[in-house]
Amino acid sequence: MSVITKTNILTMPKASEKVFEISVSKALNAVGGGIAESVILGVGNGVTTLIYNPKALNIAYKAVLKIKDIGPLMKGTVLTLSTLAAPLLSPLIAVGSAILGLYQGGLTGYNDGAVKAVKEGVNNTKDFHKETTTGLKILEKKVDETKEFTLEDLKNWAI
């Protein structure tokens, strides 16, 4: 059994440092949990983003058009750039979520087993979906009930 510490190889570990014991079963659980959670988060969050991206873009269009502090040229520029950037959102969320899932799943798989990592991935994806839909509902309501607003109003909406 090998021992890996957070210290430099040339120094002895201190009693207060966490020591990780590596075994074949823990390594397999870490790899399996990392891969599983990576796929679950990448696909789940990517699909959620793909589904709600048009609604988010629509809310953003409405908000930009109601801002009185910027002129038509700036509004047109923001709307054009938003439209061009929108297709990149789902793949970027999918890749970022997959990387996060690889880390989280590996850590959970190592500590608690691959099955726990899968459950954690499913729960994290459900949370992402729930928070996305809730956030969009709140923003849509604020944008729809506001006739016109300033850039300062947008700053105050930040949570």
Collapsing DSSP states into helix, strand and coil, what is residue 47? Answer: helix
Cα 140 from Cα 134, distance rounded (Å): 10
pLDDT by residue (tens digit) across 127-159? 999 999 999 999 899 888 888 877 777 677 665
Q: Which of 148, 156, 134 is nearest to 63 (CA)?
A: 148
**Is there a contact between 153 and 146 (Cβ–Cβ < 8 Å)?**
yes
Q: How far is CA 113 from CA 27, 52, 86, in A?
A: 10, 33, 37
Does the model's pTM come out above 0.85?
Answer: no
Can you give the residue ranges of every domain in the chain? 25-157
- Confidence check: pLDDT of 4 > 70: no
More confident: 56 or 21: 56
Classify residue 68 by its DSSP letter. S
pLDDT by residue (tens digit) across 80-136? 999 999 999 999 999 999 999 999 999 999 999 999 999 999 999 999 999 999 999
Cα 62 from Cα 81, distance rounded (Å): 15
